[in-house]
Amino acid sequence: MIELKKQTISETFSIYFDKRMLKILLLGAISGFPWVLIGSSLSLWLKEDGLSRSTIGWAGLIFGVYAFNYLWAPLVDRIKIPFLTNRIGHRRGWIVLMQILILISLILWSLLNPTENLAIVISVGLLIAIASATQDITVDALRIEQIGENEGKSMAAGAAMAVVGWWSGYKLGGVISLFSAEFLQNLGFENYWQLTFLILGILIILMNIGLMFIHEDKSNMREINQKSNDELISNKLGSKNIINSFLTWIGGTIGGPIISFFKKNGFNIAIGILGFVFLFKVGEAFLGRMSIVFYKEIGFSKSDIAIYSKTLGWITTVIFTLLGGLFVIRSGVLKAMFLAGILMASTNLLFTVLAWSGKSELIFAIAVIFDDIAAAFATVAFVAFISLLVDRTYTATQYALLASIGTAGRTTLASSSGALVDWLQGDWGVFFVITALMVIPSLIILWYIRNKLNLSEK
């Protein structure tokens, strides 16, 4: 196992001043912003329109799309977008196309009422999720490709900046969403959420302007390596014909990345990695899915949530993500993963204290701060972990595979979070205790495979 080389504190922080890190920050924001739309904004919109906790929880199944985006990652790697690819590049062309679809979806939401058109509202949310999950494929690839293959320190720093960017897009987008909705509501607009979605559409446009300043490598080495692997498969299939050409494409684009992953790690360890990735953030997802509903039920206003959960949480996340990146570089990604798991479980218990003590701004602030510390630390360690596992020949596909498997655990299992609260008859305290225990299986798996992982600095 190759460990990341330790650096002094000053050397580590100097990495964050690399101009590439600012570009990675923006890419992270582009990736995180759509989660505001189909996460807290959609949940609160449905809650304030009188829909049940179970309905809100099951609506979260649209996040399941993120769990399967690896299935079409090969298409994103190879298919060129007419006009956009030639004008702005392959990666950026895909991002802009998906951003346009999200913008159109926001316009559609601005015309709908969820109580009258719930199916359509959820369908549009599904479209946002599909577009967001698709853009994540190329955002992550473009982010990894900003860093050279032999820059292990920069890769860990880039992971930290990507997380800061993701949370910046998510938290600041949430602040704008909540404050805009409350401001418009106070002005007397009944369709305050619909108008808020139009305001959020402006952010989409601004992000795409910023995207044009991010460099995209024009090298065709990735295509050359992929074609080389295709030729090996083609030679084994024998004579060239339409069927064999199709099988070659399937084998090279879908089978190649998977075979490469299992060959690099060995079957048992590869399965262990996939199991760990699937389970690691399940407890955090259960809490996150129901958190805004919990805040509302316990008596906090939208502005309270915006200040404590979004603004304060964003500042905390930025600081401790950068510190988390420092810890990953100095101590190694595996130690960071174990510590992150323990922190996530511990901080979930703070919400139990809040639930059992009743509305308390002090406890609310403490719970949110420590939860964001744990989430920031866990996410930067997780991103660094899977970034070190990918093969550069299949950057987009392998990262999408690992990331979407992680998302599968968070989204598919956590979709039952509302039903669990209902089954507990609204006992939020017990609910948060259960979420704290959910990290244990993943840490057991990581402990078992820790000495057999093949982590590359490249």
Interatomic CA distance for residues 452 and 403, integer angstroms: 21
Residue with tokens 């298919």: 79
CATH number for the domain whose boundaries are 9-452:
1.20.1250.20
Question: How does DSSP classify residue 89?
Answer: -
Reported as a single tens digit per residue, the pLDDT across 409-447 is: 776 777 777 788 888 878 888 888 888 898 889 899 999
* Tokens at 134, concatenated: 């698709």
Q: Where are the domains of the chain?
A: 9-452
The CA-atom distances, in angstroms, between 287 and each of 140, 277, 412, 425 are: 25, 18, 14, 16
| Per-residue pLDDT reduced to its tens digit, 105-144 | 999 998 988 888 888 988 999 999 999 999 988 898 888 8
Mean pLDDT of 241-247: 62
pLDDT, position 456: 54
pLDDT of 202 strictly over 70: yes
Pick 285 or 4 by higher pLDDT. 285
Of residues 154 and 6, the one with the higher pLDDT is: 154
Most confident stretch, 246-260, 265-279, 410-424:
265-279
Question: Which pTM does this prediction carry?
Answer: 0.71
Q: Reduced to 3 states, what is the DSSP secondary structure of residue 223?
A: helix
